[in-house]
Structure 1
Amino acid sequence: MECVELLDSPDLFFLDGGDAHATDFSLENHLESSSSAGAKNKAAPGHSHIHSHSHSRRAQLHRSNAPVPPPLPGTSYYGARRKAKAACRRVPEGVLDSWDRLFLEGYQSDLRVSTDGGAEISSHSCVLGVKSPVLRAMLEEARLRDGFRCIRVSGAPSEAVRVFIRFLYSSRFEQEQMKEHALHLLVLSHVFSVPSLKTVCVDQLERGFLATDNVVDMLQLARLCDAPRLALACARMVIGDFKTISLTDGWKVMRRTNPSMEQELLESLVEADTRRQERAKRMEEKKVYLQLYEAMEALVHICRDGCRTIGPRDQALKGSLAAACKFRACKGIELLVRHFSACGVRVPGGCANCRRMWQLLELHSRMCFLPDTCKVPLCRHFKEKMRNLGRKEETKWNLLVCKVLERGGTMGFMPGRRKNFINPKASWVLPRGSSCI
């Protein structure tokens, strides 16, 4: 409460440097007194001198208005701790060789691990107990025989158990042994709670074991062994090649024994197909909006500058010399303009090409902010027509204009006020009957 009262006091707000210095000292003295109650009675004789020196240093900094300089790069305490921690993570090869040799030679081993194949693996109970909490619990209940503790690991080949125990010592394995016993090692890593080995097994299975004929079995095993990464990779593979995988024996067995998993995979397949269709629809809409943007550029280019053999009457055309035009939609707009000028129908509800031209002209008028000086035909006419449209139709056109501007980016022929139209949270809809070149 004393700190709150001090912060609320009017003495904390100041106008000149002297008041700031005095206020800062009162706040520091109060915080020091509240955080170190009774410490002054136990301080050394030179303690008051140190405090006076620190206060004079702070006063000097306040008078010069100089900020406290930041620490130099790489000299901070936390940076040094991070570097030391990163350096400790790199285990020298000699240490790993020593642990590997300790397992292979069995020097002063006190534990014998028996397997289903009848083999006995000599090891050290302290190493296995530290690496696995499950093995520690088994060792606490193990019986002594001929001076050795004895435990049994069932459900896996002897060679897989040997690779598993060697990994507990040195985190090493032979690549051929890992490929051969990856499934058994995954089960052992889950049963005996060795997450580092599980990560290695999942990586090996993802890269070189998954196939269309075993992916369903791998999916079930991954869920039993709590390996979500492997389960996700299997599910993606099933969805990506469902027609082939649904004909395998593994799928038929899974359908009989685990119908809930089949239902889940089918729902995931439908969801993925829906997302694929939505993505294709969005890509098609983006393509349409980009075509409309290019059509607007080409229309303004033809009506303002002229291109090839078409352009404004007061412009001298260059004919075939201007064949290399940078606007991709220029040729299509040129053909459409020629048809529109020579068509005998030329009404919005008549010829399809003329109807398309009417829509492009109306779209341009909604994107143009200079109708008095614009050279595009009927620009002012459509500006006047906008005032009589209903609210629903006006909203559709505004959404279309925003989407075209957003898709095209910066349009050179439009002024800066066009940004007021953009609303990225709106759902963009093409007006009925609109199309592109």
Structure 2
Amino acid sequence: MMASPALDSPWPTSTGDSFCGSFNIHMEEQNPADILPVLEDPTCSVSYNHSIPKPPPVPGNTHAGNKSIKSLSESCYVPKETIDTWDKLFKEGCGADVYIITEGRSYIPAHLSVLTLASPVLGNFLRQSKVQNSMRYVKIPGVPYKAVYTFIRFLYSSCYEKEEMKKYVLHLLVLSHSYSVPSLKRVCIYLLEQGWLTKENVVDVLQLARNCDAPRLSLICVRMVVKDFKAISSTEGWKVMKQVNPALEQELLEFVVEADSGKEERLKKKEEKKVYLQLYEAMEALLHICKDGCRTIGPRDKVFKGGQVACGFPACKGLETLVRHFSSCKTRVPGGCVHCKRMWQLLELHSRICNQPDSCKVPLCRHFKEKMQQQTKKDEAKWKLLVSKVIASKDALWPISGRRSSLL
């Protein structure tokens, strides 16, 4: 007998009856003698009658030439009546020449021509199966009857019941991948991505997505695990995966650690950017105070007159306080006063940014320009890096940099 397409899944399931047993999807040729008693059971909802005429031929391509085919595909519209007709053909099973046996010895009548066109993989197996009394008998074990029923129905009309699809979506994902039905596979992936993923099933879905060549779905599952690792790692699905697939568990743990490290790094960079932004604001405020003379800040008890408003430079008030201290401090030498030391650094930073030292109103601008010639290469490299980061931070301060670009 021909080797059947299979998707072996080595892990046990964790989602109960709707996803029972390991997936070992394959077709088995069935002995008609074992099946006929089932077919004759009066309780079965569908029976086969040889007197029923064959169904109408499957619609084929009546246009010749690639140009005609392309034109037809671009203007194709399938009315509801046509879909209903194919759905009815499946449900009534008139003229069926295939019996698909499922779990519990239930069976589904179908048509070889339809299954062959809808799934070449399935059709290839069916054509090689034995024929008795004009019927082909095959079995799809390991999958619930309702899942197989939904799968075969989709091959006819692309129809499905939402409740059945949601209940058996994992089985249908495996079936669609195993028997090469890309349209059904896309539906399964789409529905899982659009809200059918849960903390309880995401680990199972991740493993199936990797086995069924669904990289986008796999990525979404990994992101979900990383985002809510604490809750997902306590589910039954995680515990089963930990036992049967420790390599995947280790991989997911590495993703979680990497995500945490990345988060810390982003927070660190955010804080650094905040510092550079504050330095840029201080440079603008320093130039404003020394060049324009800020007349809207001063003593804390100052009252604004008329239409005066507070200064628009965020760092102006704090910087003016520092300037006042620096001008009157008795221990103004570097290292003698922490506040004065900060002021010296701000003045030197300004001088490295300023490109008009001869006309600049900021104190000691020319002094620090001359001092640069005496610094070591190491110190010079540090200052250049700081200047580049401060200047780059102005992009985050577009309201001020758009209003005033006097630093550059």
* TM range, smaller chain: 0.7 to 0.9
Give the Å deviation of 1:339: 2.2
What does 1:6-405 correspond to in 2, within 5 Å?
87-88=74-75, 90-308=77-295, 320-321=304-305, 322-405=308-391
Specify the SS of the correspondent of 1:325.
coil
Structure 1: how far apart are the matches of 2:371 and 2:112? 90
SS state at 2:139 partner:
strand
Residues 222, 231 of structure 1: 8 Å contact kept: yes
- Aligned mates of 1:396, 1:177 — CA distance in 2: 66
Query: Once structures 1 and 2 are overlaid, which stretch shifts more, 294-303 or 402-411?
Result: 402-411
Partner AA of 1:371 in structure 2: P
> Contact between 1:300 and 1:413, CA under 8 Å: does it hold in 2?
no
Per the TM alignment, residue 376 of structure 1 is displaced from its structure 2 partner at its CA by 0.9
> In 2, Cα distance between the equivalents of 1:95 and 1:295?
73
Q: Quick one: distance in 1 between partners of 2:285 and 2:176?
A: 65
- CA distances 1:207-241 after superposition (whole Å, capped 9, x unpaired): 33322233223322332333322222221122112
On the 8 A contact 2:297/2:311 being kept in 1, the answer is no
Aligned 8 A contact 2:284 2:406 in 1: no
Are the counterparts in 2 of residues 369 and 414 from structure 1 also a CA contact under 8 Å? no
What's the offset of the Cα at 1:255? 2.1
Q: What is the identity, as a one-letter code, of the residue corresponding to 2:327?
A: S
Q: Which moved more, 1:318-327 or 1:122-131?
A: 318-327
> What's the CA shift for 1:139?
1.0
Q: How many residues align?
A: 331
Contact 1:302–1:310 (CA<8 Å) still a contact in 2?
no
CA separation of 1:323 and 1:211: change in aligned 2, threshold 3 A: same
Task: Report how far residue 275 of structure 1 moved.
Answer: 1.9
Deviation at 1:90, TM superposition (A): 4.9
Conserved in 1, the CA contact under 8 Å of 2:116 and 2:123? yes
CA distance in 2, matches of 1:323, 1:144: 95
Cα offset, 1:291, TM superposition: 1.4
* Partner Cα distance (1:258, 1:107) in 2: 46
TM-score (norm 1): 0.69
Which is helix-richer, 1 or 2?
A: 1
Q: Which amino acid aligns with 1:213?
A: E
- Return the offset for 1:280: 1.9
- Alpha-carbon distance in structure 2 between the residues aligned to 1:354 and 1:86: 78
Deviation for aligned residue 1:89:
5.8
Rounded Cα–Cα distance in structure 2 between residues aligned with 1:85 and 1:355: 80
Aligned alpha-carbon RMSD (Å):
2.7
Task: From the superposition, tell whether residues 387 and 259 of structure 1 become closer, same or farther in structure 2 (CA, over 3 Å).
Answer: same
Structure 1 residues 84 and 398 mapped into 2: Cα distance closer, same or farther (>3 Å)? Answer: farther
3-state SS of 2:104 partner: coil
Q: Distance in 2 between matches of 1:84 and 1:393?
A: 71
Percent identical among aligned pairs is: 58
Pair 1:309–1:121, CA change in 2 (3 A): closer
Deviations along 1:306-363, one digit per CA (max 9) or x if unpaired, are 223669xxxxxx9724442221111221222222223332222132222221111111
If asked which structure has higher relative contact order (CA below 8 Å, sep 6+), I would say 2
Partners of 2:331 and 2:71 in 1: how far apart?
A: 83
The code of the aligned residue for 2:372 comes to M
Q: Which amino acid aligns with 1:302?
A: I
Distance 1:387 1:414 in 2: 25
Residues 297, 310 of structure 2: 8 Å contact kept: no
Question: Does the aligned pair in 2 maintain the 1:336–1:353 contact within 8 Å?
Answer: yes
Between the aligned partners of 1:349 and 1:336, the Cα distance in structure 2 is 16
Query: What is the deviation of 1:375?
Result: 0.9
Partner of 2:47: none
| Structure 1 residues 304 and 173: alpha-carbon distance in aligned structure 2, compared to 1, 3 A threshold | same
Matched residue, 1:64: none
- CA offset digits 1:398-424 (Å, max 9, x no partner): 222222222214574447xx5xxxxxx
SS at match of 2:136: strand
Are the aligned partners of 1:367 and 1:414 in contact in 2 as well (CA < 8 Å)? no
Alpha carbons of 1:108 and 1:281: their partners in 2 closer, same or farther (altered >3 Å)? same
Q: Runs of 5+ in structure 2 lacking a partner?
A: 1-66, 396-400
Partner letter of residue 139 of structure 2? R
Quote the offset at 1:370 in angstroms. 0.9
Q: Which has the larger radius of gyration?
A: 1
Structure 1 residues 171 and 274, CA gap change in structure 2 (3 angstroms): same
Q: CA deviation at 1:117?
A: 2.7
1:138, 1:151 within 8 Å by CA — same for their partners in 2? no
- Distance between the aligned counterparts of 1:160 and 1:191, measured in 2? 14
Query: Which structure 1 residue ranges, 5 or more long, are not aligned?
Result: 1-79, 312-317, 419-437
